[in-house]
Amino acid sequence: MQYHEVCADQSCDPRHPPLGRTLRRFLPLAGFVGLFLLAATRTDAATVTIGRADLVTFPASGWWFAEEPPSSNNATGEIALDYAAPLGGGSIEMTLDGTGEGRMLFGTVDYNGTRLDQVTSLSYRSVRTSVDTDNSLSIALQVNVDYDGTDGDTNWQGRLVFEPSFTAGSGEVDTGVWYHWNTLASDARWWMTADAIVRGVNVGRACDHNAPCSLATILTHYPDAAIHSSLGALFFKAGAPWSNFSGQIDDFVIGVAGNETTYDYQVCPDGNPDGADIDGDGISDICDAEDAPLSIKKATAWPWRSKKGRAKVEGSTLAPFDASRGFTVRISDGGTMNIMGALAPSDCETTETERDRKIRCRTADKDVQAYFYSDLSSPGDPAKFKIKVSRREFEGPLAPPIEATLEEGFISRFGAIQNCVSSRAKMSCK
């Protein structure tokens, strides 16, 4: 995935990496810079994680998916597992079918009644994963609005819509690119779906679909505009309607009078376990940090001077293994050995008969090799594994235990073996 920024001022550099990477890069400076920023802006910031288990049904407080019209079955919304999402852990995904009738909303009523002149930040990141030959479709940010929150007239006045393609320019929203949308920027474009009612009088619309404008401009026309107090909602929307669309959002930031909240949408906690739960502990594999123990029967490590830095681990663990996600292995000892090997799905070959299933993996340079064996005639039995990592620069003396971690996508297996015999040339454990 690529990243792209859209905003009007120099505070937003197109080369900025997403927030997580930025934070890590500047972490050593964070104390100093953080103090400075707090003093300069008096912004209070909090990050709120929304997992699948946190979703509510409209209009309860919290975040919900809603199809428009309700239950028309042309669109789906979920928190999808997506390692590439800007804040990691998942993102909001909306998918519209091929009928051309799909509209999906993801939103909250928690900001109802908020005056728009009190909104001090409002941004999100989005990607379209489906192909759009016009390069224009992108998940929009919308609010149900009351253009005069003070006049006691609470009739429906439609929505204010932030439209990414109006902001980026026609044909400028590419497939597969994560964009950052600062919707308060002076070049951000919003439009009104209905006429404004101010002091009880219909005053038309200053910024319609043909002449979208910035939120600041909208506020010059309707200074008391607010998110509607009783019919309000703030939400993301895919579809006008659209056909065969899929896209995601993450990293939604809203500041109200300087109190800034960042919403990070994540799969976990998972309120809809898919049933895949290798160790049966009630935490689905997607959210479980330790999915199954590795029972290590035998492990040997040779430092660089004897066999050019090699370690072998074998044993058994709860099945199943799936090579389509690739494998990453880490092997360490009680001393300084800490080596790693990665196997891509293309490094692996799976053969399956009625009796058994074998996965053989090796990198092109043969430095990382793995073998997994499952006896399919007794499905509850553990699978056997053998892993070898070679040509890693580590020196002795080696010390027990030897520990191994095997990662297979979101499935993590960990084990250790303590009973070891060390010599200058190697350490053997069994």
- Contacts with Ca ion, residue ranges (CB under 5 A): 85, 87, 89, 146, 148, 151, 153, 250, 264-265, 277, 279, 281, 283, 285, 288, 291, 410
Smallest separation, CB 382 to Ca ion (Å): 16
- Asked if residue 404 lies in contact with residue 296, where contact means CB atoms within 8 angstroms, the answer is yes
Q: Which is nearer to Ca ion, 229 or 419 (CB)?
A: 229
Q: Which is nearer to Ca ion, 31 or 282 (CB)?
A: 282
Smallest separation, CB 224 to Ca ion (Å): 8
Tell me the C-alpha to C-alpha distance, in Å, between residue 281 and each of 287, 290, 295, 328, 382: 11, 10, 18, 23, 17
Smallest separation, CB 1 to Ca ion (Å): 13
Smallest separation, CB 160 to Ca ion (Å): 14
Smallest separation, CB 87 to Ca ion (Å): 4
Smallest separation, CB 286 to Ca ion (Å): 6
Q: Which is nearer to Ca ion, 26 or 156 (CB)?
A: 156
Q: Which is nearer to Ca ion, 372 or 410 (CB)?
A: 410
Using CB positions, name the residue nearest to Ca ion.
Answer: 288
Enumerate residues 6+ apart whose C-beta is below 8 A from 21. Answer: none
Smallest separation, CB 371 to Ca ion (Å): 22
Q: CA-to-CA distance for 122 and 140, rounded, in angstroms? A: 13
HEC secondary structure over 75-124: EEEEEECCCCCCCCCCEEEEEECCCCCEEEEEEECCCCCCEHHHEEEEEE
Q: Which is nearer to Ca ion, 163 or 288 (CB)?
A: 288
Smallest separation, CB 264 to Ca ion (Å): 5
Q: CA-to-CA distance for 212 and 160, rounded, in angstroms? A: 10
